[in-house]
């Protein structure tokens, strides 16, 4: 219930009221959520594909040793934009979102995606055979989970 | 209120448009494909543009990133068109005069024009962009314009539902 209380409080805050009382502001936050998610997934999928398929986006030993180098900070920025805008969107109707049948699965899948992505960022530099296999497995799991998060997010509006 | 053009009514009344409008499953599926299309298109373009602007993946050659991400973006664009056209047909009467749809189409045209101009001019030298120093300033200008235009497409696209 912590999340529900958080969204309810956000809904009654000055920022929540500002977002929820204005259609252009609410639509801007919605557009920010889509843009943030697109940025996050673009970075994630480009990086993960280059882990699965080392020749993607440039051959070379440096790329194969550190396939995700230079992607972590922009990924975290995209995630922050998506998370912040998402929280403001949920604050528009905390009850209907929180008790939506897809809300919990979306967050569970998001947790899997983020954890798999961070674990991947941690082991992708390792050159052992086992680490490479684990990296590829994590890259697949994370990519599928991220796409699932986007799909569940859209279906929240239909259930 | 202006009269609805004949072609809009014809499109709206097509059996496929009616079936789509009345389906509880098809419309959400199409909208999901549309969102995934946006994610692939804008995600791919954002990675490509941010690389050209030196804000992402600095160890990769700009040419390699552009070459890798362009097909991803085009796949997203194909998904957008394939889902967007039936979505419009199903709601043609309600949407045809929507100011945000018109604004979105204008921005979309400008974004595509930006791509065409970039590819017709500075992107011809793409093969030589092995380092940041070899990327011309005009390529960065095209990348910045691209980010602004596609962000506008997303914003106006979201506003359609609120008008």
pLDDT, chain A, mean: 88
How far apart are the C-alpha atoms of A15 and A30, rounded to whole Å? 15
In this predicted structure, the answer to whether residue B43 has a pLDDT above a threshold of 70 is yes
Q: Is the pLDDT of residue A58 over 80?
A: no
pLDDT value at residue B94? 93
Of A1 and A27, the structure prediction assigns the larger pLDDT to A27
Rounded CA Rg of chain A: 18
Q: How many Cβ atoms are within 10 Å of B31's Cβ, its own excluded?
A: 17
- pLDDT above 90: percentage of residues in chain B: 75
Q: What percent of chain A has pLDDT over 70?
A: 96
- What is chain B's Cα-based Rg? 18
Residue B68 burial by Cβ neighbours in a 10 Å radius (0-12, 13-18, 19+): buried
pLDDT of A67 over the 70 cut: yes
Q: Find chain B residues with C-beta within 8 A of A54's C-beta.
A: none
Which of A14-23, A61-70, A98-107 is least confident?
A61-70
User: Do A55 and A2 touch, CB atoms closer than 8 A?
Assistant: no
pLDDT at B1: 53
d(CA A58, CA A55): 6
Q: Please give, rounded to a whole number of angstroms, the shortest distance from the CA of A131 to a CA of chain B.
A: 22
- Distance CA(A72)–CA(A120), nearest Å, equals 11
Return phi, psi of residue B87, to 5°: -60, -40
Distance from CA of A89 to the nearest CA of B (A): 13
Inter-chain residue contact A57 with B57, CB threshold 8 Å: yes
What are the chain B neighbours of A66 within 8 Å (beta carbons)? 59
Q: In this complex, which of B42, B47, B61 lies closest to A58 when CB atoms are compared?
A: B61
- CB of A98 closer than 8 Å to CB of A4: yes
- The single-letter DSSP state of residue B2 is P
**More confident of the two residues A158 and B121:** B121
Average pLDDT, chain B: 92
- pLDDT, tens digit, 9 for 90 and up, residues A96-148: 888 899 999 999 999 999 999 999 988 877 778 888 889 999 999 999 999 99
Measured distance CA(B119)–CA(B131) in Å, rounded? 19
Question: pLDDT over 90 for what percent of chain A?
Answer: 49
Lowest mean pLDDT of A65-79, B17-31, B104-118, name the range: A65-79
Q: How far apart are CA A84 and CA B58, in angstroms?
A: 27
CB contact under 8 A, B43 and A70: no
Instruction: Say if residue B108's pLDDT is above 90.
Output: yes
Which of A152, A55, A140, A148 lies closest to A102, judged by CA?
Answer: A152
**Three-class SS state of A102:** coil
Yes or no, beta carbons of B36 and A31 under 8 Å apart = no
Could you give the angle at the alpha carbon of B18 between the alpha carbons of B12 and B21, nearest 5°?
100
Average pLDDT over residues B113-124: 94
pTM: 0.88
């Amino acid at each position: 219930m912590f999340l529900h209380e958080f969204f309810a409080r956000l809904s009654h805050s000055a920022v929540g009221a500002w977002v929820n009382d204005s259609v252009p502001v609410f639509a801007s936050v919605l557009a920010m959520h889509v843009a943030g998610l697109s940025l996050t997934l673009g970075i994630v999928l480009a990086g993960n594909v280059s882990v699965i398929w080392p020749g993607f986006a440039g051959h070379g030993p440096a790329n194969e040793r550190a396939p995700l180098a230079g992607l972590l900070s922009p990924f975290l920025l995209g995630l922050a934009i998506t998370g912040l805008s998402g929280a403001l969107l949920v604050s528009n109707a905390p009850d209907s979102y929180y008790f939506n049948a897809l809300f919990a699965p979306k967050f569970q899948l998001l947790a899997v995606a983020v954890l798999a992505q961070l674990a991947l960022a941690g082991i992708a530099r390792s050159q052992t055979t086992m680490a490479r296999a684990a990296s590829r497995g994590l890259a697949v799991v994370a990519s599928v989970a991220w796409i699932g998060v986007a799909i569940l997010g859209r279906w929240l509006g239909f259930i | 209120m202006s009269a609805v053009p004949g072609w809009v009514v014809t499109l709206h009344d097509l059996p496929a448009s009616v079936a789509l409008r009345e389906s509880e499953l098809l419309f959400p599926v199409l909208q999901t494909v549309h969102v995934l299309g946006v994610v692939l298109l804008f995600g791919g373009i954002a990675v490509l543009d941010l690389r050209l602007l030196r804000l992402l993946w600095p160890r990769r050659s700009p040419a390699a990133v552009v070459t890798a991400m362009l097909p991803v973006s085009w796949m997203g664009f194909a998904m957008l068109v394939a889902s967007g056209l039936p979505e419009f047909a199903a709601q043609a009467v309600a949407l045809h005069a929507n100011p945000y749809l018109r604004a979105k189409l204008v921005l979309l045209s400008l974004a595509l024009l930006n791509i065409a101009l970039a590819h017709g001019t500075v992107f011809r030298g793409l093969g030589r962009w092995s380092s940041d120093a070899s990327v011309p300033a005009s390529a960065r200008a095209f990348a910045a314009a691209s980010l602004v235009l596609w962000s506008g497409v997303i914003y106006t696209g979201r506003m359609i539902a609120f008008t």
